[in-house]
Amino acid sequence: MMEKSLISRLKEFLAEKIVESANPSKRRIFIKVLPENLPDTIQILKEKTGFTHLSTITGVDKGETFEILYHFANKIAVLTVRTEVPAGKPEIKTITKIIPGAILYERELQDMFGIKVMEIPDPRPLILPDGWPEGNYPLRKNWKYQRPEEIIPGGGK
Q: What is the second-level CATH architecture of the domain 2-118? A: 2-Layer Sandwich (3.30)
pTM, rounded to two decimals: 0.88
Numbers of helices and strands, H then E, in the chain = 3, 7
Angle at 112 between CA 133 and CA 136, to 5 degrees: 25
Q: Where are the domains of the chain?
A: 2-118
Which residues of the chain fall short of a pLDDT of 50?
Answer: 1
Q: Cα(46)–Cα(61) distance, rounded to whole angstroms?
A: 27
What pLDDT was estimated at residue 155? Answer: 65
What residue type is 124 in one-letter code? R
* Euclidean distance between CA atoms 75 and 64, whole angstroms: 36
